[in-house]
Structure 1
Amino acid sequence: MGSGQFRAWYNVKNPGGEPSLCYAYAESDDGIVWRLPDLGLVDVDGTSANNLIDAPQGHFGLFMVDDGPELSDASRRYKMAYFEQGLADNGNGLCVAFSADGMRFSAFDGNPVLPQNAEDGSNVISDIIDGCWDPIAGRYLIGCKIEQSGYPGRPHHHAQGWRRCVGITASRDFLSWDKPRVIVTPDPGNGVEEFYGLKPIVRGNLYLGFLRVLRDDLSATPGGPVEGIGWTELATSRDGQHWTRHQETFIDRDVRPGSWDHAMAWYADCVTVGDQEYIYYGGYSAGHKVGDREVGLATLRRNGFVSRDADATRGTLRTPPAQLPGGRLTVNAMARGELRARLVDAEGQGVPGFDWSDCVPVRGDSVSHPVEWRGGSRFPRDRILSLEFSMDRTDLYGFDLAETHPHDNN
């Protein structure tokens, strides 16, 4: 959105045409109504009047990143990673391409940068990839589909004993990638379970992963054809390498027959817009390999992905001790009761002026409640301290430490 517009790059199929798989571009002023501009760059079926970008065609998967106009090598400002099959000389694997304008890409001469070189195709990167920039570690992250064997049974669209799992790989330069690490495998108690990749993002000091669950052995409509269903779950990590899966549904399909997302509801990406997250997801109407595929929008409060909740019985939450950055505190919370915060020293004692009794109670619903104490709103920075929250009937989504307050006039 650095241009003032919402911009989207995506993978599209061109059944019966050539090339059969393409990369396309769309733009929007509000993130809701989208335009497909006539780029005139790629000839498909005898015409270039389309919204396709000039990039390596005929491949699955897409991770796109804009490193901004400040990048020293302007020719590599826009980076894309994709999965290529059938390379004549170097085999299958993760490939990359670069562009100065996001519309015309040149493939890297050394592709594939991460070969799919296992003889049996197991435990190596496959054709579903999603990525992000990791500002914590200063690297690019890709969540990818990993094929594994040795499981009981046969999925509807796979070989006997095989499952689609999830791996993670990282790179500091977009060229040298780690060997993928398997991070999510099927739960034996969930039947013939598989995954269609994981999209990682970073919020604050938390890594979030949006896990696409696939059940190819189930029908979208009771008694109907078995063509598979899918939904999205969350996974979390503190280092981007070791992940915890949370099996509650985050984005669910619409169980009503005839709905556009009746079979699958798989996360694509999200953008923070004001106090909301705009979450884009792919909906499949009939099943994994059949029916229509479209893109939909869901909304969520800003950074409302996970929360710590307290009911009428008051609960407390304390952070590990640290030299806290910034001097002012805001909380993202829905406080139907109230929330208070205090500073705690290394001995577990409240800091005078910043203890429970000094805190002005926080009430109501806001993504940035200011927290005030009798000792002031700017707390000391030169000491090792913990933050402790006390709350009842409150959902706490997160907190932020900054030099200025959202309600400051300066």
Structure 2
Amino acid sequence: MKNFSLYRPLLACSISFVMMGMARQEAAAVMPVKDTVVKVIDISTRRQLFVDNYLIDHLGGGAQMQMNHPEAKEVVIEHGEPWEGSYCNNHSIFKDGDIYRMYYAAVHYNVQQGKVIDNEHPFYLCYAESNDGIHWRKPNLGLYEFRGSKQNNIIMTEDKMGDVRPGASSAAMFIDDNPDAAPDAKYKAIIGDYTEIGGSPQGALAFKSRDAIHWVPMHNKPVISGGSFDSQNLGFWDAAHKEYRAYWRYMAGEEKVRSIRTASSKDFINWSNYADLKYVNSPEEHLYNNVIKSYPRSPDIIMGFPIRYIERPWSASMRALPEPEHRKMRSSSVDRFGTALTEGLFMTSRDGVTFNRWNEAFLRPGIERPGTWNYGQQFIGWTMVETKSALEGAPDELSFYATESCWTGNSTLLRRFTMRMDGFVSITAPLSGGELVTKPVTFKGTHLSLNVSTSAAGSVRIELQDEQGKPIPGFTLEDSQELYGDNLDKKVYWKNGSDISSLQGLPVRIRFILKDAALFSFRCQ
């Protein structure tokens, strides 16, 4: 059989690239916040996060924007079945009522001296489910035969389906939040189209399902063209703009830089408004899976967790990384298989095209240990879900899932990471203090609540100002009741109470004075 690994997930190009755009030190992770054009922004009752400078007019004192990092938890699933293997990736995860669903590429690479064998079994798409997002099971679906048995969790193969041949290992399934979605298309997917075994993708196919298990093509040919389509292709319903959005990979310029392209659609079949993603104050870097989707708690913000791909030269540091002998063996086939490193980034957008991308890593490779610091680690699954906290009485948290232990054996591990709700970026200040002043906003609601964390000695005080920055009587800093604690929904009080309904519809600025505190989001409600 022809070796076609160079067209598949993570092995899509055998050309070595120089490392592009070294990341800045984390201590410098402060984004520009001053906007020369001041306009009134209607925030209504929507939750407001500080992931960009959209609302920020001024940061003073010791206050700064700080990107936060998820905390590593347990391995939730091992992809070690005979039909799975050493390079299972491209996970898509979502909560569907009381059940969590997971789809992933089942891929095995047998690494030997001077070669990587990828045809010991075909590439599959597999399925797992969970009641809590932590403990996962692989149901016997009985759909496809593997070595004489249908007792497996294979949900799609790369065999021809009608007129199309789906690259199942590139799929990203999602539950369609479009209120007008047809019952037989409650679940959808964008999948690369392989017109022949070993051929490069011809475009992206649209798939649908009534039950999240049985999938059929929505059209007899690709609905999206102009790209590579050999890593995870994805689409979703953008509720804020009332349209579908798709994101996929393409190779940019003569240097063939791994980049991201997007388009929009009203019906998931006819796509237009093709655009290449733009970035604010970020260098050109190789980006693999894009992991982009609207943030459910604030749907007007589109978030991405793209995978940064970096090739490092052989050095003392490279040779000191985990499993050096296996690293050398991988490189004996193609050098970058042993020297490339991957990690997760964080970026956000308000329009789906221009993104604010933090240049520092969101999910680093972490402490050196077996299965880490290699090509394919920290590929973040698409995308985060809410799960219960392990702390009794604590609120739900966000769970992310990322790969590790690629290449080296017969299985791949998927580890869970957690973060507080809205915890991506905070406005953080030391005990000596700092302040944040917003641009003028109008709102609806009767009170203001904060997602905030302070120390026992820390605090937050809030002042409401008019459009020109003059304190509003009754809502001045002197009137503010000192707020402290750690809560996702902490109500703000002044001397006369919490009621702000008298200011509804009027342009106001919100001034936050923070001491040893982190402010993640706020909401008028």
**How far did 1:311 drift?**
2.0
Q: Which runs of 5+ in 2 are unaligned?
A: 1-94, 109-117, 160-165, 329-337, 388-394
Alignment equivalent of 2:292, drawn from 196, 200, 210: 200
Does the CA contact (< 8 Å) of 2:128 and 2:153 recur in 1? yes
Instruction: Give the Cα–Cα distance (whole angstroms) in 2 for the partners of residues 141 and 70 of structure 1.
Output: 16
Q: Per-residue deviation at 1:354?
A: 2.0
Q: Where does residue 107 of structure 1 map in the other structure? A: 217
* Separation of aligned partners in 2, 1:390 and 1:370: 15
Indicate yes or no: 2:440 matched with 1:348.
no
Match of 1:370 in 2: 491
Query: How far is the alpha carbon of 1:280 from its aligned partner?
Result: 0.9
Q: Which amino acid aligns with 1:343?
A: L
Q: Which residue of 2 aligns with 1:323?
A: 442
Is 1:62 aligned to residue 174 of structure 2? no
Conserved? CA contact 2:289–2:379, under 8 Å = no
Query: Which residue is 1:242 aligned to?
Result: 354
Give the alignment partner of residue 524 of structure 2, picking from 381, 394, 401.
401
- Quote the residue 1:209 is aligned against: 304
Could you tell me how far 1:218 is from its partner in structure 2? 4.9
- Per the alignment, residue 79 of structure 1 pairs with 188
Per the TM alignment, residue 316 of structure 1 is displaced from its structure 2 partner at its CA by: 2.0
Shift of 1:222: 2.3
Distance 1:69 1:213 in 2: 31
1:407 counterpart residue number: none
What is the rounded CA distance, in whole Å, between the counterparts of 2:496 and 2:145 in structure 1? 67
CA distance in 2, matches of 1:335, 1:86: 57
**Distance change (3 Å), C-alpha of 1:114 and 1:70:** closer
**One-letter amino acid of the structure 2 residue matched with residue 329 of structure 1:** L
Residue 383 to residue 149, structure 1, CA distance change in 2 (3 Å): closer
Match for residue 253 of structure 1?
365
Q: Identical aligned pairs, as a percentage?
A: 22
Q: When the two structures are aligned, how many residues end up with a matched partner?
A: 380
Matches within 5 A, 1:279-358: 279-286=400-407, 292-336=411-455, 337-358=458-479
Q: Is contact 2:292-2:304 (8 Å) kept? A: yes
Shift of 1:212: 0.2
Contact 1:359 1:373 in 2 (8 A): yes
Post-superposition shift, 1:35?
0.4
2:139 to 16, 37, 44: 37
Q: Is the 8 A contact 1:284 1:291 kept in 2?
A: no
> Comparing both chains, which one has the higher relative contact order based on Cα–Cα distances under 8 Å and sequence gaps of 6 or more?
2
Residues 1:265 and 2:373 aligned together: no
Is it true that 1:12 corresponds to 2:106 in the alignment? yes
Deviation at 1:231, TM superposition (A): 0.4
**CA distance in structure 1 between the aligned counterparts of 2:410 and 2:466, rounded to whole angstroms:** 59
Distance in 2 (CA, whole Å) between partners of 1:101 and 1:69 is: 16
Instruction: Indicate how the Cα distance of structure 1 residues 56 and 85 shifts in structure 2: closer, same or farther if over 3 A, else same.
Output: closer
Cα distance in 2, alignment partners of residues 95 and 378 from structure 1: 52
| Per-residue CA distance 1:153-178 (angstroms, 9 max, x = gap) | xxxxxxxxx22122233323222223
| Letter aligned with residue 355 of structure 1 | T
Query: Partner of 2:124 in structure 1?
Result: 22
Measured in 2, the distance between the counterparts of 1:227 and 1:11 equals 23
Shift of 1:44: 2.5
For residues 109 and 172 of structure 1, what CA distance do their matches in structure 2 show? Answer: 15
**Matching residue's letter, 1:170:** S
- Deviation of residue 237 (structure 1)? 1.8
On the 8 A contact 1:210/1:267 being kept in 2, the answer is yes
Report the TM-score, using the length of structure 1 for normalisation.
0.83
Deviation at 1:13, TM superposition (A): 2.4
Structure 2 residue identity aligned to 1:65: F
| Alpha carbons 1:167, 1:184 under 8 Å: kept | no
Cα distance in 2, alignment partners of residues 134 and 78 from structure 1: 15
Q: Residues of 1 paired with 2:445 and 2:235: CA distance?
A: 30
Choose 36-45 or 97-106, whichever is displaced more: 36-45
What residue is the counterpart of 1:408 in the other structure? none
Q: 2:344 aligns with which of 220, 228, 232?
A: 232
Are the counterparts in 1 of residues 276 and 353 from structure 2 also a CA contact under 8 Å? no
Deviation at 1:349, TM superposition (A): 1.9
Q: 1:230 and 1:260, CA in 2 relative to 1: closer, same or farther beyond 3 A? A: closer
Structure-2 separation of matches of 1:126 and 1:285: 18
The residue identity in structure 1 corresponding to 2:470 is Q
- SS of 1:115's equivalent? coil
1:156 corresponds in structure 2 to none
Partner of 1:154: none
- Gap runs ≥5 in structure 1: 117-122, 152-161, 403-410
- What SS does structure 1 have at the residue aligned with 2:428? strand
SS at match of 1:53: strand
- The answer to whether the 8 A contact 1:253-1:283 is kept is no
What does residue 146 of structure 1 align with?
A: 250
1:145 alignment partner, SS class = strand
Q: Which residue of 1 aligns with 2:238?
A: 134
Instruction: Call closer, same or farther: CA 1:284–1:229 in 2, change over 3 Å.
Output: farther
Q: What pairs up with 1:41-56 in 2 under 5 angstroms?
A: 41-54=143-156
Q: Per-residue deviation at 1:271?
A: 0.6
8 Å contact kept, 1:40–1:48: yes
**Secondary structure of the corresponding residue to residue 478 of structure 2:** helix
Return the offset for 1:63. 2.3
Question: Is 1:222 aligned to residue 319 of structure 2?
Answer: yes
Would the aligned equivalents of 1:141 and 1:168 in 2 still touch at CA under 8 Å?
yes
| Structure 1 residues 315-351: Cα deviation after superposition (integer angstroms, max 9, x where no partner) | 2222222321322221112222111122222232222
Give, as a single letter, the amino acid of the residue that structure 2 aligns with 1:235: M
SS at 2:467's partner residue? coil
Instruction: Give the secondary-structure state (helix, strand or coil) at the position aligned to 1:266.
Output: coil
Q: Does the 8 A contact of 1:323 with 1:382 survive in 2?
A: yes
